Every structure is written in structure tokens, then in C-alpha cells.
Structure 1
């Protein structure tokens, strides 16, 4: 099975924002998507949406808000875009590497200033297009680099996945 889109939903099944993956699959199908599947319970949806992928992402956000009462960004990428992001990862085979998929491309000056900041645990950051590449040498659990700081510093929100998850999503999409 090949799918046309991987949709990453920010911050579900943490902090009280419960979104059952079985229901997410049903919602996607109700919105007209085919080849619908999910990977682990953290908001990773793989599907072939009808028509425009960005419109599907917005419809998915609205459907989750309508049914569950919380808004979460749905950040869609084509499998080739995920593969390009993984290939562009600038920090080698970092054991705690992540890619933070952004809702848009941040301002270049803001991205440069943000990536030059010291967050206290040796984090390395680099923005490539609409993706923030991260290396957490002490592990993601030890960082003070929060989603709120990323959103404020870059002017766009997003959601992160570790490199293993990104690689698995690419494999599943193909």
C-alpha cells in the first residue's frame, strides 16, 4: 500500500487530549481519505486524501475540534517530503535526533536567531525549509526547549518526531 500523505497531529494522547487512533482513522475515511492507517498512538495518520492535502488537513483539524473539543494542528507532508527532511538531517546519526515539522516556513532572521540560542543542554538546531532539525544530546526529556518556546521563537507551531519514527512513517507510506 502506498499513501499520498502523512499527517502528524500535534500533542494528542498527552495532557488530557485523548484522540483514539481508531476514531482518527474513521474521521479520515469520513472525510474521503483512502488507504487510511495510523502508526502508534501519537497522532501519526497515513492516508491518501481526496483532492488538496492542505484542505484535508484543515478539515481534519476541524473534525477533531468538533468531536473532541480541542484544537490540534494537523501537519501534512507527502512521503517524499518526509524522506527529504530525513535526508537533510544535519546532525549525523544522533541518538536523540528529532525533526519538528512546522506549520509553515519561519522568517529566516527569526530562524537564525532562534537556532543560535543556548537552551542549556547542548541542543543543536537548524531550520531547513519548514522543518526544525534538533539534536538533544541529553535526550528529549531533559531539554528546556518546549513547543511554546519553538512557536514563540520561530513564529510558527509544529510537532516533533524522533528520527526512528520518521523513518518508519516513510517505510509505511511506501
Structure 2
């Protein structure tokens, strides 16, 4: 499973030491093949087949709060879900810094999408997959976009976290072993 932690850093606000997280997930949760990608809250692990995505997310969220004093949303995707996301990308990912995936904690609603439609976007584009992911295209870079995580979450009424396409492909490769 892929675990995407929202708004964590290696240092600064909401610090989360990824090396310690790997150890805790292995030792305290009994997960195997636990790995991280970068210091930005990307963790992959083999978890018990009897553990649902929701239960795994909650177990990691509680572990983070208890052992590391980190409070954040945790989005979970399986390899199959991630492969589907990658296969269905509507934008040209040849510049992987300009295409992002925004992973939602739960499915967006049409009402939330309607609110998002009212937001200023300039050249930026987004596509909803009809469920719990958005594809984002930032021709001028994500740092200059009005479609940041705060605007997306407020409009949709759902927590989420974004990753650029390079990170999406890297965590998929980690999941594949």
C-alpha cells in the first residue's frame, strides 16, 4: 500500500522523520518492506491482507500522533489504484513537474467540483477522476498557481495531498518492488 501523509516535512512545521517512521511502522505495526520516498510523506509497505485501506490509514495516523506527535491526514492507495491513476492521466506528463496528482481522503462530490469551478485558474487545468483523485496541470509551475492545496480542500470539502508526476511514478516503482 501507498501512504501519502498530508502536510509533513523533514523539519520545520509538522516534522516527520521518515527513518523513524519506517522503524515504527515495521516494529509497532508489523508491516514489512516499509520504505519512504523523499522527506515529504510518502511511505510504502506490505500490510496484512486482512487490513482494509481505511484501517491501515487509521493505524498509521494513530501511530504518527502517539509516537511522533504528528497530526495529519493519511491517504492510502493500492498499486492497482495507482496504476489506474497513471494510465488515465489526461495531461502530457513529459514535464513531470507541471503535472500533479491530488489524492483525496474520500471521494469528491459534484457540489464540491462545482465550487472549485468558480475559483480563478489562469492557465491551470484540473480533471476529476469521478472519485478520490484530481489530475492537475500547471503550465507555469505549481508554485505560481491559484489551485493550491488549500483552495482545493476548501472547495471540495475533502482533505488531500498533492504529488508531482515524478513522485507519483517513483512511489509506484517503490510499490512494485
TM-score, with normalisation over the residues of structure 2? 0.88
Q: Distance in 1 between matches of 2:112 and 2:146?
A: 19
Question: Structure 1's 115 and 87: CA in aligned 2 closer, same or farther, altered over 3 A?
Answer: farther
Equivalent residue for 1:118? 120
Q: Distance in 1 between matches of 2:37 and 2:112?
A: 33
Q: Distance in 1 between matches of 2:117 and 2:165?
A: 19
Within a 5 Å distance, the mapping from 1:5-154 to structure 2 comes to 5-13=1-9, 15-29=12-26, 30-50=28-48, 51-93=51-93, 95=95, 96-115=98-117, 117-120=119-122, 122-128=123-129, 129-154=131-156
1:146 deviates by 2.5
Q: Distance in 2 between matches of 1:126 and 1:15?
A: 32
Alpha-carbon RMSD: 1.6
Q: Distance in 1 between matches of 2:34 and 2:90?
A: 31
1:56 deviates by 1.4
* Moved >3 Å (runs of 4+): none
Q: List runs of 5+ in structure 1 lacking aligned partners.
A: none
Aligned residues: 169
Partners of 2:33 and 2:46 within 8 A in 1: yes
Q: List runs of 5+ in structure 2 lacking aligned partners.
A: none
TM-score, with normalisation over the residues of structure 1? 0.89
